[in-house]
Amino acid sequence: MALKEEFKTFILKGNVVDLAVAVVIGGAFGKIVTAFVDGLVMPLVSYVLPKGDWQAWTVGRFAIGKVLGASVDFLIIATVIFLVLVKGLGALARKTEEKAAAPATRECPLCLEQVPLAAKRCKHCTGELG
């Protein structure tokens, strides 16, 4: 029974649940990015490359076109993830952190004790606060 209880504790940890949610959201986000790449970016790439199905390019038995297409897909997906998740959510987290870090107290210049921002006199030394 101990193994069953340990497994239950492991499964119910926040990290495992967070990871499961991230995998599901990542899969859905991957579908959006793949549709974006297939529907918008790859047609634009085909204007730059010579006519024909460039993803069918081969050199002997090597499918160069498929490798090129997968590489472009990867670069676009990595760019979108970097911009949206790393930069976007990072900026949002910093903004939230700045709001939460606003001080509620200040230091009394006479006795160096912490007093509320709205206080007019220090409760420790009764000195006037400017």
Q: What is the pTM of this model?
A: 0.46
Burial letters 5-30, b for 16+ CB under 10 A, else e: eeeeeeeeeeeeeeeeeeeeeeeebe
User: Over 80: is that where the pLDDT of 98 sits?
Assistant: no
| Half-sphere exposure of residue 49: CA atoms within 13 angstroms, side-chain side | 16
pLDDT per residue as tens digits for the range 13-63:
767 777 888 888 888 888 887 788 778 877 887 777 766 677 788 888 898
Listed in sequence order, the residues at least 6 apart from 113 whose beta carbon sits closer than 8 Å to its beta carbon are 107, 122, 123, 124, 125
- What's the confidence (pLDDT) of residue 29? 81
> What integer pLDDT is reported at residue 14 of this predicted model?
66
Domain ranges of the chain: 2-103
- For domain 2-103, which architecture applies? Orthogonal Bundle (1.10)
